[in-house]
A and B are shown apart, each in its own frame.
Chain A
Amino acid sequence: MRARLVPYLFLSPAMLMLTAFGILPLFVAAFVSFTNMNLAGLGNWSRIRFIGTTNYTELFSDEEFWQSLGNTAFFALIGVPGVIVLSLAVALMLNRGSGRFHRALRAFYFVPAITAIVAIALVWGYLYNTQFGLLNYLLSLIDVPPVQWLSDPLMAKFSVILVAVWRGTGLNIIIFLAALQAVPKEYLEAAEIDGANEWQRTIRVTVPLLKFAVLFVTITTIIAWLQFFDEPFVLTHGGPLGATTSVSLFLYNQGFAASQFGYASAGSVVLFLIIAVITALQLRSRRTNVDY
């Protein structure tokens, strides 16, 4: 077998599919974003008209689009650090023991990550229900007035973020746990001998050694939160009054409910570019850690 061809042979099946189902659609979307494609156009391509950058100008003057951008930024700014810090903290705590007790606890923390979103919507929709939900019932037992978890525009944002954070920590806890297992104990022992207490050992020795895990988790979490869709879709449908509509949800509404595919494609391209730029910035700031 020709030595030079080998890597290509190993790579090609996966790359072929990635290109077909990941890259190609992106180019199609870019192309479509310059047209007025809608449901009628989809059924009969002769009905499609090339309209230049009209979709983009309309997009940037669409108040709902800007609202969804703002919402997404809000979600990401709160959610991403929330997920990372929480996952790291729990992993650090879970790492203090390796017996059955701690292993059992891991399963509990992982459960949200493996539950189907439809089920999550049902359960949390019930917990959050203002009149009859469990959370407000518990609050009423200690004389706290009911909270409008999903009906108040500001509160709804936090409620949705909470569910997403709850869901997102599971996998990241496991990742951090593994990374922690790889921290050489000798460094920690040396620090202890030098007189550092547990907190100092954790902050000064362990956490810095997790740099790459933190970078990996940060990148993937940011990408995920910029594409935030599931939780607002099932819990609030983007409401109340558009308060929890993320960019992805906005695109979904435009693309499918309103069948404005050209318009939605323009939005998708914009979203992709935002994600790409942010990811590129992160990678560049930590260039040493991503080997090529």
Chain B
Amino acid sequence: MLTTERRLLESTPLEDSKPIPRSNRRRRVPRSSRTLNILISVALVLGAFATAFPFFWMVTSALKTRSEALAYPPKLLPETITFDHIAELFTQLDFTKYLGNTVAVVLISFVGLLLMAMAGYALAKFDFKGKKVMFFIVLVTMMVPVQVTMIPTYLILNGMKLTNTLLGIALPTLVSGFSIFLFRQFMLTIPTDMLEAARLDGAGEIRIFAQIVLPLAKPILAVQAILTFIAGWNSFLWPLIIANDQNLYTLSVGLALLNDQIATDPSLQMAASSVMVVPILVIFVIFQRHIVQGFSLSGLK
């Protein structure tokens, strides 16, 4: 990468022609009193604990026996740890299949990422007739209540013969106004001169997009990747409605199935919920460095 590109990548945007001198990046916050530091750290830890506590409860309940789960007064930690509930999910119920379907839906959703990046790029870096209207439409779709879209969307998918297919499940949420908006904000900060220079050199538009824009957009792509993963992983409504066949159910639907009309098995449900959360957490931990960096370069100053 050229040095100018690297500096732009690491600079803070909005005024995209003023790179911040290196000396100012990532400097530690000016020292304040130690007591304040400790106080704030304690507050953060307490807050983090309170925030994550329900999650912690969920996981321990998944590992408790059923009678312990219902015990009153409630005990925090299980006296006997049992993996039976988790095992039951995969052996007696169909969670392996649901897992496979969920992964497939997530992968299809990633195609949407590309399409949204293209749309954001067009809205950011081109001037054309109807641009305002298109952007307006993007904003409007963020405001439409979900219940409104259900039946018409189903009818459309039915007409396209996509019901009971994985593609049909992934399609309604493939693109979202929120993400296009976010892409656009980021791409506003890509210096147009660079693109013009490439055009003058004779590079085609697709090549410019693929070899200049996308690499520069890596951080925001990482962010959107996480968000797409989360949405696809937790998707419930469309898998439920579009699938006529239990073989296409995703993890969320499998979890809902465990909610028998009145006689539920809470331990099993907690186990299923834990299974669903853990992979996302892992992905988040791995990618979070990219996330924060990504948002900082998205013109959100």
Contacts and interface: CB of A to CB of B under 8 A. Distances in A.
Contacts of B49: 108
A24 interface: yes
A109 B47 contact: yes
Nearest to A222: B143
B174 to A, nearest CB: 6
A268 B276 contact: no
A179 B32 contact: no
A62 interface: no
A166 interface: yes
B118 A14 contact: yes
A268 B55 contact: no
A248 B147 contact: yes
B200 to A, nearest CB: 13
B148 A29 contact: yes
Contacts of B24: 184-186
B93 interface: no
B21 to A, nearest CB: 8
B205 interface: yes
A183 interface: yes
Interface in B108-156: 112, 115-116, 118-119, 121-123, 126, 128, 131-132, 134-135, 137-153, 156
Q: What's the interface size class on A, roughly? A: 35 or more
B294 A127 contact: no
A195 interface: no
A44 interface: no
B296 A179 contact: yes
B189 to A, nearest CB: 11
Interface in B261-301: 266, 269-270, 272-274, 276-277, 280-281, 284-285, 288-289, 291-301
A203 interface: no
Interface in A187-205: 188-189, 192, 197-198
Given A14-B115, A18-B177, A181 B288 contact: no
Given A4-B128, A175-B300, A188-B30, A279 B143 contact: yes
A182 to B, nearest CB: 4
A91 B8 CA distance: 25
B194 interface: no
A23 B139 contact: no
B277 A272 contact: no
Contact of A182 (B12, B205, B252): B12
Contacts of A106: 288, 292
A21 B188 contact: no
B273 A184 contact: no
Interface stretch (A46-54, A77-85, A94-102, A144-152): A94-102
Contact of A118 (B119, B126, B252): B252
Interface string A33-59: 000000000100000000000000000
Interface stretch (A63-71, A153-161, A209-217, A235-243): A209-217
A276 interface: yes
B99 interface: no
Contacts of B123: 11
B77 interface: no
A114 B205 contact: no
B67 to A, nearest CB: 13
B128 A108 contact: no
B137 A181 contact: no
A142 interface: no
A261 interface: yes
A186 B20 CA distance: 10
Contacts of A188: 29-30
Interface in B187-240: 188, 204-205, 209, 230, 234, 236
A134 to B, nearest CB: 5
B54 A127 contact: yes
Nearest to B208: A6
B300 A105 contact: no
Which one of A101, A134, A169 has the highest number of Cβ atoms from chain B below 10 Å of its Cβ? A134
A126 B292 contact: no
A120 interface: yes
A115 B55 contact: yes
Given A90-B47, A114-B230, A122-B270, A181 B138 contact: no
Contacts of B255: 116, 118-119
A279 B188 CA distance: 22
Contacts of A189: 30
Given A13-B115, A26-B144, A189-B30, A114 B292 contact: no
Nearest to B180: A14
B243 interface: no
16 contacts: A15-B134, A21-B149, A93-B44, A96-B37, A109-B48, A116-B234, A119-B273, A119-B276, A122-B58, A178-B294, A184-B20, A189-B30, A220-B178, A227-B146, A248-B147, A272-B144
Given A25-B151, A114-B281, 4 more contacts: A20-B156, A22-B137, A93-B44, A185-B27
Interface of B: 12-14, 20, 24-30, 32, 36-37, 40-41, 43-45, 47-49, 51-52, 54-55, 57-58, 61, 70, 72-74, 112, 115-116, 118-119, 121-123, 126, 128, 131-132, 134-135, 137-153, 156, 171-172, 174-175, 177-178, 180, 185, 188, 204-205, 209, 230, 234, 236, 252, 255-256, 259, 266, 269-270, 272-274, 276-277, 280-281, 284-285, 288-289, 291-301
